[in-house]
Amino acid sequence: MKNRYEGLLVLNFKGTEDGAKEVIERLEGDFKKEGAKIEQVQKMDRRQFSYAAGDLDGGYYVNFIFNAEPQVIAKLRSKFKLDETVYRQNYLKLSSKIVEKPVRTPRPVKAA
């Protein structure tokens, strides 16, 4: 059964963001190769980290919302762990799409 997920990836461009579009398209292709169906891609631009844990002081944030089988997450984690442009990755299972409830109309009051 496919679940809905959100995948936040922090990309390392080391000062240059010229190739951001190509890298994001390549990552989208990687999601699709593993069997995920992408709903939305949110490009959140470059942001500074609140503290630098290593040699990097900021990264380019990209948020993917997609549908996939649960085992796809493990495949994506291992694949992106080897990718030098993906600095951090985090996945969150989302609830299914919110469906608006129909509006209830009150019943007429009976006259006594």
| Joined tokens for residue 112 | 């006594």
Q: What is the pLDDT of residue 48?
A: 87
Residue-wise pLDDT tens digits, 75-107: 999 999 999 999 999 999 998 766 566 677 777
Length, in residues, of the chain? 112
Q: Give the predicted TM-score (pTM) of the model.
A: 0.78
Structural domains of the chain, with CATH:
3-94 (3.30.70.60)
Those residues whose C-beta lies under 8 Å from the C-beta of residue 10, and which sit 6 or more positions away, are: 59, 60, 61, 86, 87, 88, 89
pLDDT in tens, the chain (112 residues): 789 999 999 998 775 666 788 899 999 999 999 999 999 999 988 888 888 777 788 889 999 999 999 999 999 999 999 999 999 999 999 987 665 666 777 777 777 6
